[in-house]
Structure 1
């Protein structure tokens, strides 16, 4: 009975971001504002906006437990997958680096 369930997070339920962000961000054909707004709406609706737009100073909620840290890391990977899936191959090659954070990407 003392066993806790893994935390459910809405971001982990969306397998196809391209259906919700149908714009591919490219270096040549710039649709950044459209892409960014669609991406922001998607992130907000899946409760991961704080992974791409930092919270105001003093409002940050750093992970406190091992479980929260694990969920945070999983969400970082999920949001990175969303970014990488919605940008062009050329742009991907310019931002893809080991251990990149979502804000850096």
Structure 2
């Protein structure tokens, strides 16, 4: 990390994360993979990816300044997550005194745990879609 309490960190100047993450993650729209990639890009570009994806060698915080900066960055990235998800998801994952890693893992669990059941549901919908229920082939294909 850094030894100087007044050190500049680029992640702290991102005033509106929605300028960088153009989608809102919602339960209804399956955009989780896209949203994750966008979050990874912004966290990599600001050198804070290790807050959501632990490095192979754990970060050791030795000074109080390093611990304070880590906490500040953690809260900053957490606010990015909260600003880019729907209100329903926010109310599902938000808890007092949570870390970004906790919120990140909760979101992963919501979307990844549902993956198999979602595939089964989509396959069932597809199998039950009949061409005769549509006025023409173009409408059928666009579904």
**What TM-score results when the alignment is normalised by the length of structure 2?**
0.67
- Work out the number of aligned pairs and report it: 100
Rg larger for: 2
Runs of 5+ consecutive residues of structure 2 not aligned to the other structure: 104-143
Q: Point out the structure with the larger helix share.
A: 2
Q: List 4+ stretches of structure 1 deviating above 4 A.
A: none
Q: TM-score, normalised by structure 1?
A: 0.91
The CA deviation string for residues 41-93 of structure 1, in whole angstroms up to 9 with x for no partner, is: 0000011100000111xx12221101000000000110000000000000000
- 1:1-105 to structure 2, matched below 5 A, reads 6-56=6-56, 59-105=57-103
Higher RCO (CA-CA < 8 Å; seq separation 6+): 1
Are residues 92 and 5 of structure 1, via their aligned partners in 2, closer, same or farther at CA, if it must alter by over 3 Å?
Answer: closer
Are 2:25 and 2:86, in contact at CA under 8 Å, matched by a contact in 1? yes
